[in-house]
Structure 1
Amino acid sequence: MKPYPKYFEKIRVRPDKDAELKSHSPICQWDGCKEAGTHRAPVGRMKEGEYFRFCFDHVREYNKGFNYFSGVPDTEVARFQKEAMTGHRPTWKMGVNGASTRSSPDIAQHRSGRAGYYNRMRDPFDLFKGPKDPREARERKAKPLEAKALETLGLDTKATGKDIKARYKELVKRHHPDANGGDRGSEDRFRDVLQAYRVLKQAGLC
């Protein structure tokens, strides 16, 4: 009969990691030290990726006096710190491509509201600038309902806001009930013109 329970045979003692690390580590590189060099310390500037191996006490002593910029002029240190703010990536001054000298569009012509406010806006990068030809914008933005309204007024999708207003005034005068003696056909045409103009106005085309 064994003097200890069978479960004792399954117990495994965890190895000492510090002792194992010391057994595989080189000797401390500090002069006169025979301890294991278990800790790394950077060699210095222009030798990134290279390390000394010291014991715990001597790596602390080494780090106290370590200076990455040792022997570097103050002007170079200041330049390095400035470039580090942008991750050492190249930068350019604002307006170097002439963007700041370009005239911004008159936003008041494209937006409703107080013209003075939008005139004070500046868009040097043309982010809010619309098409050069307003007729192209009309043709591109025309939806099926808007195209039908333009057709009712006898216009195509290239018509400008000025064309729409002029055509609307002309048709209103022509088909107004007071000018047609109660003609039923003219009254229906008059309502169609009013509805078409309302659609175009809500769409911002006039």
Structure 2
Amino acid sequence: MTRFKYDIAKNNLSWENHQIRLCDKEACEDKGDYRAPKSRSNLNNYYFFCLKHVTKYNKSWDFYKGLSVDQIELSIRKDTVWDRPSWPLKGNPAKVMDQLKEFLMYDYSLFEKEKEIHDFLRNKLVDENITNEEHKSLNILELKMPISVDEIKKRYKKLVKIFHPDVNDDNKNAERKFKEITEAYKTLLKKFLRNE
């Protein structure tokens, strides 16, 4: 009878040769298949427990243990926005636009060109908050969103110098246009001064 040079046992194959992790609980000899974080400040470092001990550990685990009420509320608020900066989007549309532009350009750089940012923001945020009367007023003053109160005042002064009745002797069209400009100016000032 011929004998083989080497006897290969199935258990000794390299891809089957791995260590068995035991439960981290003292005096427990079961397999540690279930992981549990070691502490709130070190969530990526784990204990490995058997099912019995991981269940007991999870019942006693308190992520917020040792924190004050204010610290807990702050942690919950951060979690709701994935720990990103946030602020309310209300108030003067020009200020909101500046905040969003700064956020997109410097914090996340979603757009490469400033024109793309203006187009993106103008279409969504500001146009939804403008009434038909305010939209007509913008067209009369030949302004586009986003704008500030200073821009409205500059444009008004420029158009008034052109269409004022003292400059245009007995020109009914200029007088009518002057009245439209004045009404549009009042409408926009009312809107933007309220939102500042």
Normalized per residue, the structure richer in helix is 2
Same fold (TM over 0.5): no
TM-score (ref. length: structure 1)? 0.38
